[in-house]
Structure 1
Amino acid sequence: MIRTTFRTPGFGRLFAGLTASMFGDSLMLIVLSMWVKTLTGSNGAAGLTFLWMTAPALLAPLFGYIVDRVARRTFLVVANVASAAMMLPLLLVHDAGDVWIVYAVAFCYGTSFVVVPAALNGLLKEMLAEDVLVEANASLSVTREALRLVGPLLGAATFAFVGGGAVAMVDAATFLCAAVAIAGLRAGDRPEPAGQPQHWRAEVVEGATFIRRTPVLLHTTLALALALLVIGFAESAVYAVVEAFDKPVTFVGPLLTVQGAGAVASGLLASRIVRRFGEPATVIVGLLVTSLGLAGVVAAQQTWELLVTVAVLGAGLPLVIVAFNTLLQKRTPGRLMGRVSTSVEVLTTTPQALSIATGALLVTLLDYRTIFALMTLGTFVAAGYLALTLRGRLTMTAGSEAPADPDVVAGTVLADPPTVTTLLPDQEVADETSWATGRQPEPSR
C-alpha cells in the first residue's frame, strides 16, 4: 500500500516538500522554548512559549472558513512563504528584554500549525484514494518522528554554538522548500464546490456542527481533548525533569531524540494496527501506551530508566496521530475539510493551552513526579472515556468497511458523503512539538 501511495501522481513531490518542512520543525520547536529558558532562567517562561503557540487555535474556525474557499495548493504555497517570513524577527533577539519577540513568533508559528494542516488534509483527500490515506498519514508520521532522532540534537547544538537566529534561518529555508514543492503540484488547483448558501456565521460553525452530529468523530476528539488537558503540563515540567537528573537544559534534545526512536518503531506498525482494529480503537491503544510512558517518568530513578520510559511515551504518539488523522479525513466531506480540521484544533488545542498555562504554575509548586502522575491519570481517563462511549463500535476490520449514509449537517445533505471507517451498528445518521505531544494531532505543517 505504501508503494501505491507513492505511485500516486504528485505525492512524492508533496512528501519531499513536507519532509523539508518537518525537518525545520524538528530543529526549531525545541529551540524556541530553550531560547526563552536561556534568556530568563525560568522553567515557567519556557513553558509559556508553547502557550503562545497554541493561542491561535481560538481563531481556528475563522481560518477554516477561509481555507475552504481557496484552492488548497494556492493556500499552502502562500502559507509556507508567509511562515518563512515570520522567522525573520528572531534575528533581533539578543537578551531577556527581547523574549516578547520569541513569543510573537511562537504565536505566528501556531497560526501556521492551524491553517496548514487544515489545507493539507483537504489536499490529501483530493489526491489520494480513501484506502491509502492511512498509509500516507503513517508515512508522514514516521518521517516526522524519524527526524526527531537528529533534529532536536542538531537544533540544540546549533543553538549552543551559533545561536537561535541561525536555526530560524534554516527553518525559513525549509518553509520555502515546501512552498516550491507544492507549487509544482497539479492537484488542489481549484476550491472545493460550495454547499448551499448560508449566512457566513453558519458557515463558520458548520465544521463544529458536523463534528457534533458525527458521534465517532465527536467522542474521539473529546478523548484527545481530555488527554491534552493534562499532557500540556510537560512543556514546563520537562525542564524540571532535566534539572532533577542534574542535566543541562540542552539535554531536552536527547530526550526528544529518544522519544523519536520510540515513535518511529510504533509508526512503522501504525497503518497495520489501524487497518486491523479501526481508528478509534487504535487511538485508545495509543493513549494507553502514552499513559504507560508518563507513569514510567514518575518511577524512573536512573538516566537510562528515564530514556526507556521516554521511548515508550514516544511509541504511543504515532498511533494516536495516524489513527485520528485518518478518521478525520475519511469521515469529513471535502468541502468541509478546512472547517472540520480547524474546529478539531479548537477542541483539542484550547485544553492544551490551559494545560500549558497550568503546568507553568504547577512546576513552581509541585515536584515533577506529582505532575507526571497527574498526567498519567488524565491520559488513562481519556482512553477509558473513549472505550466507554464507543463500546460495541470498535471491532472494525479492513474487510468489513461499508459505505455510510449521507451525513446531514444543519439540515443540509452533504454533497460529498464520507465512508464509514469504523463499524457503528447503532449510529444515527450524521448525529484531530512539543516534547510530550509532538504538536497536537496533525500530519504536518
Structure 2
Amino acid sequence: MSGGGAESTAVAGKPRLGSGFNRFWLAAGLSGAGDGISLAAAPLMASKLTDDARLIAGVTMALTLPYVVFGIPAGVLVDRFDRRRSMAVVDFVRFGAVATFTLAVLLGQPSLALLYLVFFVIGTGETYFRNASQALVPSLVPREALMHANGRLVATQNATTQFIGPMAGAALFLVAAWLPFGVDAMTFLVSAVLLSTLRPAEQPEAFLAAPSPKGALKGLLGDMTTGAKWLWRHRLLRNLAAMAGSLNFVASGAMAVLVVYAHDTLGLNDFGYGALLAAEAAGAVLAAPFAPALVRRIGRDHALVVVAAAHVVAFLVLWLVPIWWTTVLAFFVAACGAVTWDVVVVALRQTLIPDRLQGRVNSAYRLVAWGAIPLGAGAAGVVSHAFGPPAVYGFGAAVMALVMVRMLVGARRRWITNALEAAA
C-alpha cells in the first residue's frame, strides 16, 4: 500500500495491543452496545409519542447538536485533562441521564422534551468521549499498530452500536418500553468503572504548566483557535473534513427518517426496523477486518473513491427500489464503505496530527464532519414530511455523486500518498 508499509506489516502480523488497550476496548464495546440499544429504542419511543417525521428526526438532532455547540471546547479539554479519567466521568454522567429517563418511562411520564434533553446530554458526552478515545489510542499502542487497533475498535463499535445493540433494543422495547434504556444506563456505568481502573495517562507537554487564573480565559480562547488554524493549513485533512461532512450529512438524514421509511414505505414492524439497523451493522462488522487488506491492495487514495461509490449505489437503491431485501443490501453496502473510511481516515489523523494537538485539531475536524449530522437529520425530516421518505435517499445519492467526483480528482493527484510521504 502506498505510503503505509509500516502499518501494512502491523496489520498483517496482528501485533499484540497490550492489556491497557484491551481494557479500553472492552469499555468502548460495552458503551457502544448501550448506545446501539438506545439508538434503536429512542426513535421507537418517539414514534409512540408523535407521528410527525420532523419531531421523530428531532431525536437525532438532539443527539448530534452538541457536536456543533461543544466540539471545539471539547477538543481543548481533551488536551488539558487526563483522557482516561475524564472519559470515565463522562460515562458516569451519561449513566445518570439515561437512568433518569428510564425512571420516567417506568412511572408512565415519558415526553419528547425529556427524550430530547437526555439525548442532548448523551451527545454532549459523546462529543468529548469520541475525541478523547481517538486521541488516547496512540498512547496505548505503537504507531505501526494504529491501523490494526483502529480496525479492531471500529469492528467492535459497529458490532455493538449497530448490530447487537439495535437488535437488542428493538426486542427489549417490545418487552417493555423502559427496558432498553435501563440496559443502556448499566452499560454506561460498567464502562465508567472499567475506565476508572486504568492508570492515569501522562499530560501532553504543552499543558504540564497550568495557566495562571488571570491568563486562563485568554489561554482557553487561544487553544480553541489553535486546532482550527492547524487544520486549515493542512490541505489534505481540510479536504477530508469537508468530504466527511458531506457523507455524514446524507448518512444522518438516512438514519433520522429510517423508522418512518421502515413503517410507512416498507411496511415493517418495530422489530423489522431493528433488523434494518442490524443489516447495516453486519456490513460494518464484516468489512472491518478486511478493510485494511483492501486499502493495501488499491491504496488509500482509491479506497475513499470506493467509499463514495458504495454510498451512491446504496442511496439509489433505497430511493428507486423500496423493498425490504434490497434495503438490507443497500445498508450493508453503505456500512462497508463507512468502515473503510474510518480505517483510512482515523489512522491518517492519528499519524499526521502531533500528539499535543490531537484533541484540538480533532475537535476542529469534527466540527466540520460531525457538525453536518444535525443539519442532515433536520433536512431529512423536512424533505420526508414534504415529499416522503424515499426522496431523502434520492437527495443523498446526488450529494454522494458529487463527493465521488471530488475523491476521484484527489486520487489522481495522490493527495493521501503525498501527504504521508511528506510527513515521513
* Common fold by TM > 0.5: yes
Q: Distance in 2 between matches of 1:345 and 1:199?
A: 21
1:83-122 aligned within 5 A: 83-90=94-101, 91-93=103-105, 98-122=111-135
Q: Distance in 2 between matches of 1:183 and 1:95?
A: 34
Asked whether the equivalents of residues 219 and 386 of structure 1 are also in contact (C-alpha less than 8 Å), the reply is no
Asked whether the equivalents of residues 5 and 128 of structure 1 are also in contact (C-alpha less than 8 Å), the reply is no
> Quick one: which amino acid aligns to residue 303 of structure 1?
W
**Residue equivalent to 1:227:** 247
**Residue equivalent to 1:61:** 72
**Residue equivalent to 1:365:** 386
Q: Distance in 2 between matches of 1:395 and 1:190?
A: 31
Out of 252-261 and 38-47, give the one that drifted further: 38-47
Label 1:365 to 1:131 Cα distance change in 2 as closer, same or farther (>3 A).
same
Asked whether the equivalents of residues 280 and 324 of structure 1 are also in contact (C-alpha less than 8 Å), the reply is no
**Residue equivalent to 1:81:** 92
**Residue equivalent to 2:181:** 168
C-alpha deviation, 1:64, in angstroms: 1.3
Asked whether the equivalents of residues 276 and 331 of structure 2 are also in contact (C-alpha less than 8 Å), the reply is yes
**Residue equivalent to 2:215:** none
Asked whether the equivalents of residues 312 and 398 of structure 2 are also in contact (C-alpha less than 8 Å), the reply is yes
Asked whether the equivalents of residues 81 and 175 of structure 1 are also in contact (C-alpha less than 8 Å), the reply is yes
Where structure 2 has 5 or more consecutive residues not aligned to the other structure, the ranges are 1-9, 212-217
**Residue equivalent to 2:368:** 347
2:4 corresponds to 1:26: no
Asked whether the equivalents of residues 43 and 259 of structure 2 are also in contact (C-alpha less than 8 Å), the reply is no
- 2:159 maps to which of 122, 140, 146: 146
Q: Distance in 2 between matches of 1:355 and 1:223?
A: 14
Q: Distance in 1 between matches of 2:371 and 2:82?
A: 28
C-alpha deviation, 1:373, in angstroms: 1.2
Secondary structure of the structure 2 residue equivalent to 1:246: coil
2:308 corresponds to 1:297: no
Aligned residues with identical type, % of pairs? 21
- 2:358 maps to which of 332, 337, 342: 337
2:55 corresponds to 1:45: yes
2:231 corresponds to 1:211: yes
Q: Distance in 2 between matches of 1:159 and 1:284?
A: 39
- The aligned length equals 401
**Residue equivalent to 2:197:** 184
Q: Distance in 1 between matches of 2:299 and 2:127?
A: 26
Residue deviations 1:322-343, cap 9 Å, x none?
2221111111111111112221
Q: Distance in 1 between matches of 2:323 and 2:97?
A: 40
2:321 corresponds to 1:307: no
> Quick one: which amino acid aligns to residue 206 of structure 1?
T
Asked whether the equivalents of residues 39 and 95 of structure 1 are also in contact (C-alpha less than 8 Å), the reply is no
**Residue equivalent to 1:382:** 403
Residue deviations 1:269-319, cap 9 Å, x none?
112233445545433322221221111112325322222222212221111
> Quick one: which amino acid aligns to residue 154 of structure 1?
A
Judging by fraction of residues, say which structure has more helix. 2
Where structure 1 has 5 or more consecutive residues not aligned to the other structure, the ranges are 405-419, 421-445
Q: CA RMSD in A?
A: 2.4
Residue deviations 1:135-176, cap 9 Å, x none?
11111111222233332121011112111x322221122122
